[in-house]
Amino acid sequence: MSAQFDTRFSTAEAHFEPMLADRLDEVLRVEQRAYAQPWSRANFIDALHSGYQAQILMGDGNVVGYFVAMKGVDEVHLLNITVAPEFQGQGWSRILLDALAIWARGQGAEWLWLEVRVQNLRALGVYEAHGYRRVGLRKDYYPASHGKREDAIVMSLRL
Ligand SMILES: CC(C)(COP(=O)(O)OP(=O)(O)OC[C@H]1O[C@@H](n2cnc3c(N)ncnc32)[C@H](O)[C@@H]1OP(=O)(O)O)[C@@H](O)C(=O)NCCC(=O)NCCS
């Protein structure tokens, strides 16, 4: 997959690559800077071994962002979507979410599902702007700092 972007986002061409094991060091460097509770290397390796869809958006040799998604019967579940901190606020999440939706439609999925921390207002705004609706709440779904837990909002998008 490749795309030429509006100069508001980047003057360079960016493209998607499958997330292969040889890119995991770079991915983990982004993951650890992007989250207080990052995925571990083992989480990524498990996802790759399970055959989940994992794509990296590369720009000028840098990891701009990535997503990991799991295909179900008639739905796709988004497990991880991340934009590297130095590329945040430039609209890249839309490119990732569009690519995810295109892939999911191609798989015959009718729905996209995801969970998001109740306090992650930025991500909630991004998903709502992309057409996702709030459909539920999972109590204490995520680990949080100081041994606490945080609720997740469940969102879905009809494809
Ligand atoms: C959530 C995330 C994927 C959004 O990606 P993004 O490419 O930065 O999104 P956008 O550029 O479209 O920005 C979305 C909104 O957040 C704001 N924003 C993004 N980065 C920001 C920053 N560093 N500081 C302040 N505001 C920021 C943008 O201004 C925009 O607001 P607007 O819609 O009112 O204009 C990205 O911030 C991220 O990876 N965060 C850490 C990981 C995470 O939370 N992932 C989602 C887990 S469910």
Per-residue pLDDT tens digits for 47-74: 999 999 999 999 989 999 999 999 999 9
State whether the beta carbon of 122 lies less than 6 angstroms from ligand 1.
yes
Asked if the model's pLDDT at residue 149 lies above 80, the reply is yes
User: What is residue 12's predicted lDDT score, i.e. its pLDDT?
Assistant: 58
Q: How confident is the model at residue 13 (pLDDT cuts 50, 70, 90)?
A: confident
Which domains occur in the chain, in start order?
2-158 (3.40.630.30)
Q: Catalytic one among 31, 52, 66, 127?
A: 127
The sign of the torsion formed by the CA atoms of 97, 99, 102, 104 equals negative
Ligand 1 pocket check for 58: Cβ under 6 Å: no
The answer to whether residue 115 is catalytic is yes
pLDDT at 8 > cutoff 60: no
CA of 140 to the centre of ligand 1 (A): 23
What gap in Å lies between CA 153 and CA 70, rounded to an integer? 18
Distance from residue 95's CA to the centre of ligand 1 (Å) = 12
Residue 132's pLDDT band (cuts 50, 70, 90) = very high
User: 95 with 105: CB under 8 angstroms?
Assistant: no
